[in-house]
Structure 1
Amino acid sequence: MKGGGGLPKARGEAWRVKPEQVSLKIDVFTPETLPMARLARYLEELAAMLGSDANLHFSRVAAGSAHLIALADPPAAPKVLERARAVAERTAPRSSMAAHARLDDLLAEDNAIGELFVGRTKLLEFPGRRRAAQEVIGPVSRSGSIDGRVFSIAGKDESINVRLLGDSGGELRCVVSVELARRLGPHLLGGRLRLFGRGVWNRVDAQWVMKAFEADEFVVLDDSPLPDTLRRLQAVFEGVSADEFVSAMSDLREA
């Protein structure tokens, strides 16, 4: 098969491409050289970028330069197309744009470039190895915390993967123990949490970027509106004079 910029052909015939077919072309791999673990990473980020985890199904890796073929459920195909166009126009939700950046990072790490097709239409190009070099400092390991709402808890061994929707709208990922995962279970799709642990960060072009995080504890954050919080504080100190309050604070400082 001769190389080219479009979708591959089989036995001299153009593929019958369904409108709900999604194809990610990676130029440096073939089906024989693409590692299975790397394939899983690419598919995970592709689904996250298109916002269709439940409606996008892996089909195959096509011949030639590796084409990762997935099929969207027909009713969801228009939404997949709309999201891909929004990513191309940089108007997609932050979670999709973050997944787009992670996909390009994977390609850069593999010294590759990529293209995304929906049906026969090429909607996205990933610069990968061609993008401008970034100033990277790290990795740096340090204690810290992350805030967000848990929307996924998954894993089969002693390390459980947790995904959160951060306050800025982006996706955060961390690893927790089985015991902590059980405690997080009741908070799935619930309110905001703060997870404490140890993370690995790189400083990329003057911004800190989290590469990994292992959490060992969490607390539930109070999402009450400010007026409600102030009313509760007023109730706590009801009947306490200013002099009594100052005296109590002095006693605490001296304790």
Structure 2
Amino acid sequence: MKHLDWQYELHVHGVSKGKLSLDDFAELAKKLADLLGSKDKVHFGALKNGSAKLQLKVEIPVRQAVNVQLLRAKNDDGPGANKVVWIDEFLGKRGWHGELKNDQGNVVINFPGAINKAPPEPVQTVHQASTIVGQVIKIGGRDETVPMQIRTPDGVFVDVNVKGREQARKLGQHLFGADLKFSGNATWTRDEEGHWSCSDMEVLSFEEPDATSLVGLFASLQQVPDNHWHQVDDPIAEWKKQHREDH
């Protein structure tokens, strides 16, 4: 039997030696070095033809240690297990898969990569009448259509356009105020992971906070001792007046 001048080989399916970019090769080599350990005693051997095959040489004094580390990583024992996942994810994102073999041809660790990865969702864009809730955090412009940015309750920033200067003026009074409900024609985009996001919206109308909830709020406040709200005949109107003055 011919003696092999390497101890481990990463066989990458889905890319050939000639198509493997230098950046991907360098990243794979680094991840393999992290996985095998004993970095000063593990060396690059060759990159073989056909599907890319990275051959690695391990010096005799550390071969047993490297073998043990690979077995522990394969069995999800210790930090090496994460390094297996990192290589698998790296291959999967590029549509590849592979396996790490020893010099006897046995698979030490399998990297299913793209084999088990669900196909990406097709990118899709939809235009439709929509409603978005959020806080006005920026508004301004000279044209009839005024750009505005809102922040949704979950922290997402959405750039929208307000139809009409009069409506924009009213919205300016709510800058950094309570969340409002905006209605209009929106553009929604679904990414490759299946997540939808609003990328644009023409605001045609908006609604202030529900007055019925404010009635309950002020009714509770009026029961608090030493609270001036019990002296106000129309607390909601007074609150709106103060809210406008603050802004």
Q: TM-score, normalised by structure 2?
A: 0.45
Q: TM-score, normalised by structure 1?
A: 0.44
Query: Which protein shows a greater Rg?
Result: 2
